[in-house]
């Protein structure tokens, strides 16, 4: 048996920032892009709760930006995005959720694995599992196989096109265009 850290489903901790659910979506999205653009995990009171694919979060920021302005979309907390995503009555993110075929947000398993564990024979669908070292430090994550096999990871991230200079910003960055310094929208 291979160790959990040698699994093709293992992703090192440095590639997935863990951020409080109270973090603004704009800052969190920037942190996820800085870490390689895969995704991030939200936590409450130091308990990791949800994985959000970066491309899904970018799409959600884009949607809220269209509705309420990009500045508001950027400063709204991750937890508010999650609540709206899970609200079945709210149609705002329905199209996005369907495009991700349910893979855009995964719950974090309550139990974690140790770096010395063998790779589990079966991984839960729709979940990610923390992998911790002997001192309890986070070493990485085991991604559910259906997430890695899904096209969600290849969904293109939105561009935040500046209405003044038409520059394609990778992130909303407090609604400031990195090219001209004006409001993006
Ligand atoms: Zn601009």
Cα–ligand 1 centroid distance for 168 (angstroms): 8
Topology of domain 4-175, CATH: CBS-domain (3.10.580)
Cα–ligand 1 centroid distance for 119 (angstroms): 48
Cα–ligand 1 centroid distance for 73 (angstroms): 18
Residue with tokens 């959990």: 4
Q: What is the mean pLDDT of residues 136-148?
A: 93
- 8-state DSSP, 23: S
Residue with tokens 């079945």: 88
Cα–ligand 1 centroid distance for 183 (angstroms): 7
Q: What pLDDT, in 10s, does the model give residues 144-182? A: 888 888 887 778 899 999 999 999 999 999 999 999 999
Domain ranges of the chain: 4-175
Cα–ligand 1 centroid distance for 185 (angstroms): 9
Cα–ligand 1 centroid distance for 46 (angstroms): 38
Task: Report the chain's C-alpha Rg in angstroms.
Answer: 17
Percent of the chain with pLDDT over 70: 100
Q: What is the mean pLDDT of residues 119-125?
A: 86
Cα–ligand 1 centroid distance for 173 (angstroms): 12
Q: What is the pLDDT of residue 180?
A: 97
Q: What pLDDT, in 10s, does the model give residues 17-51? A: 999 999 999 999 999 999 999 999 999 999 999 99
Catalogue the E-assigned strands of the chain. 10-12, 18-20, 39-44, 47-53, 105-108, 113-114, 127-132, 138-143, 160-161, 168-169
Q: What is the pLDDT of residue 143?
A: 94
Cα–ligand 1 centroid distance for 177 (angstroms): 5
């Amino acid at each position: 048996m291979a160790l959990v850290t040698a699994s093709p489903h293992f992703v090192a901790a440095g590639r997935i920032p863990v951020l409080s659910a109270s973090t603004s979506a704009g800052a969190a999205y920037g942190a996820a892009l800085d870490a390689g653009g895969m995704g991030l995990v939200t936590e409450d009171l130091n308990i990791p709760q949800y994985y959000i694919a970066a491309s899904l979060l970018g799409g959600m920021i884009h949607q809220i930006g269209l509705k309420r302005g990009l500045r508001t979309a950027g400063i709204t907390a991750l937890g508010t995005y999650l609540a709206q995503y899970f609200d079945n009555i709210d149609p705002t993110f329905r199209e996005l959720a369907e495009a991700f075929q349910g893979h855009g947000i995964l719950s974090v398993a309550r139990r974690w694995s140790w770096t010395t564990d063998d790779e589990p024979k079966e991984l839960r669908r729709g979940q990610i599992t923390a992998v911790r070292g002997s001192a309890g430090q986070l070493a990485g994550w085991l991604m559910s196989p259906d997430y890695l096999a899904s096209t969600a990871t290849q969904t293109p991230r939105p561009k935040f096109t500046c209405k003044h200079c038409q520059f394609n910003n990778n992130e909303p960055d407090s609604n400031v265009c990195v090219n001209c310094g004006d409001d993006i929208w």
